[in-house]
Amino acid sequence: MNHFQYKGNELHAEEVSLKEIVARVGSPVYVYSHATLTRHFTAFDEAFAGVPHTICYSVKANSTQAVLRTFITLGGGADIVSGGELYRALQAGVDPKKVVYSGVGKKDDEIEYALNTGILMFNVESEQELTRISEIASRMGKKAGIAIRVNPDVDPQTHPYITTGLKNAKFGITIDRAMAEYARAKTLPGIDVIGIDMHIGSQLTKVTPFVDSIEKLKTMIANLRGQGIDLQYFDCGGGLGIQYSTEEPPLPADYGKEIVAATKELGMHLLFEPGRNIVGNAGILVATCLFTKERDEKNFIMIDAGMNDLARPALYGSFHGVQPVVKDQDGMIVADIVGPICESGDFLVKDREVPMFRQGDLMAFMSAGAYGFAMSSTYNSRPRVAEVMVKGNQFEVVRERETVEDLIRGERVPSFL
């Protein structure tokens, strides 16, 4: 469920008209619903109410401070993949002991930053990374809590670009090699072996791949305990999907029921890394129709938002529903909705039946809260758009629209030119 609904013929975010937001803030603009963010986080959290657990929101999905603060005030932690994401989470008020650090390419300064901050643990992705964390922690006189990210070789049945749990993925360590790495980790200075981690992919619409992966890791956990390595934390990762179009992903309550059943005899503290599942349908991108064009029986609707603002359609061929902000169009038309970027791949909708938008009409691209603004760029020297959060009948700009001056901030012409 989300809180973007029509009141009469006009689309609202909670109690605020999107037309009013654009009139005040301009277009394009990302709009987030505080009520939807809260509802989705709470639903996920309550799915595990009966067991020790922590929800470590996946910062990469949407790292805007207002979004992070919303989840942190609800008791959430953070799953990070860079020193920059750690900084963002700390600035938003996260408890460092609710932070897990994932990602295959952690730099020395990022490892040092995380150790000085006192995060809960690193999710180790390779043998060399484990060695390097040990070296750095020993030099600093600290202990690094670690979990090894185990690659269970389970097909998550999702887009290949967001599949991370197969043996040919760059992520994690295979089960056989992970057993050896756990034995080695136990002997390394500066290392505190406290957990095990898995993350098999994103936008999963079935629970079975999660359960299958857990079953594989349960056998591994039993073997580790037989070797005297008794882990405290089981990081089950994230990846539970949302509805963009016709998908029917399980509800968090149904997902939680099966995960709790699969892990109950382990007696471990469960960690989860939801991102898209709790933020995806809580945000939209509002854009304006600039022109329309018909050519060789092909219809184009040109808008002021492009692939630099919302990259997912160009990158993955992803679906985002599109709705008019004011429903007064004369019927439907099959068209591409394209942006101003000088690329043929710059489209937000391709060959789909949409309302017959006219110049000046506003439209909302739905389910854009995850990997929307977070993946945006200034390609074609287009300043990044504003972000707004709505709560009830009020709204505020939570990120100012960039200016052309921002585009060259930090640049300099060398003295020899």
Is residue 372 annotated as involved in ligand binding? no
CB 136 within 8 A of CB 189: no
Is residue 274 annotated as involved in ligand binding? yes
Is residue 343 annotated as involved in ligand binding? yes
Is residue 161 annotated as involved in ligand binding? no
Catalytic, out of 56, 236, 289, 342:
342
CB 309 within 8 A of CB 285: yes
Burial class (CB in 10 A: 0-12, 13-18, 19+), 314: buried
342 is catalytic: yes
Positive or negative, the Cα torsion across 38, 389, 402, 380? positive
Residue 301: C-alpha distances to residues 19, 197, 339, 346, 376 (Å): 20, 45, 8, 12, 21
Is residue 125 annotated as involved in ligand binding? no
CB 283 within 8 A of CB 62: yes
Catalytic positions, please? 342
Q: Which residues are annotated as a binding site for substrate?
A: 276, 312, 316, 343, 371
Q: Which residues are annotated as a binding site?
A: 239, 273-276, 312, 316, 343, 371
Q: Which residues are annotated as a binding site for pyridoxal 5'-phosphate?
A: 239, 273-276, 371
